[in-house]
Chain A
Amino acid sequence: GAVVSQHPSRVICKSGTSVKIECRSLDFQATTMFWYRQFPKKSLMLMATSNEGSKATYEQGVEKDKFLINHASLTLSTLTVTSAHPEDSSFYICSARDPSVSYNEQFFGPGTRLTVL
């Protein structure tokens, strides 16, 4: 089956620094990837849709200058949390869309736990 990886799986950083999270589709080409944020005991909230070769589409309330998304190739999207603050601490999950699959075409990564001190 389709496999999506994320790196790193866990990161701790100081307040004010920037953190980059990578999302890779390992065995398929993903024209679209999605970034979600999940707080403890809460559901997944879509942050943005990342399209290869074009600008990401952000959900309402998500700051695009705060959460920079780059989808430079068909197998890699990156999310950079700029000037991170403790309130950005969360579980970030990506998914990748396999265009050759109908309906259940989103495959999820294992998540990245970000802790901002």
Chain B
Amino acid sequence: GESVGLHLPTLSVQEGDNSIINCAYSNSASDYFIWYKQESGKGPQFIIDIRSNMDKRQGQRVTVLLNKTVKHLSLQIAATQPGDSAVYFCAEKVNGNNRLAFGKGNQVVVIP
């Protein structure tokens, strides 16, 4: 299930099931989006990116969907594994501007 509140929104998922993580971005001028995975005590790790001229992009076990109309981004992880347990952040950027703006993050807990 999913819980919100004082802690990070947490998605608990059974090993082998699919995970969907959502992100609402803020800047309608953003034209490039990235999903990062952050394990405890480590820096962010690039997972997948998508440009605004696309609405879907697939990688290995991951898919990113972009809905510019409602400024929404999602990350789908297929066949979730224990190693996928981490915090996932979306980030947005306007091309030509170096600055990345990070979303709030979602904790994924994989139950073996």
Seen from chain A, the residues whose Cβ lies within 8 Å of a Cβ on chain B are 4, 6, 32, 34, 41-46, 49, 91, 93, 95, 97, 103-104, 106, 108-111, 113
Contact in complex: B98, A43 (CB < 8 Å): no
Contact in complex: B46, A43 (CB < 8 Å): no
Contact in complex: B51, A43 (CB < 8 Å): no
- Secondary structure type dominating chain A contacts: strand
Confirm or deny: B13 has a beta carbon within 8 angstroms of a beta carbon on chain A. no
Confirm or deny: B109 has a beta carbon within 8 angstroms of a beta carbon on chain A. no
Residues of chain B contacted by A93 (CB below 8 angstroms): 43-44
Seen from chain B, the residues whose Cβ lies within 8 Å of a Cβ on chain A are 7-8, 32, 34, 36, 41-46, 49, 51, 89, 95, 98-105
Contact in complex: A110, B8 (CB < 8 Å): no
Contact in complex: B43, A106 (CB < 8 Å): no
Known A-B contacts A49-B98, A103-B49; the reply to A109 vs B43 at CB < 8 A is yes
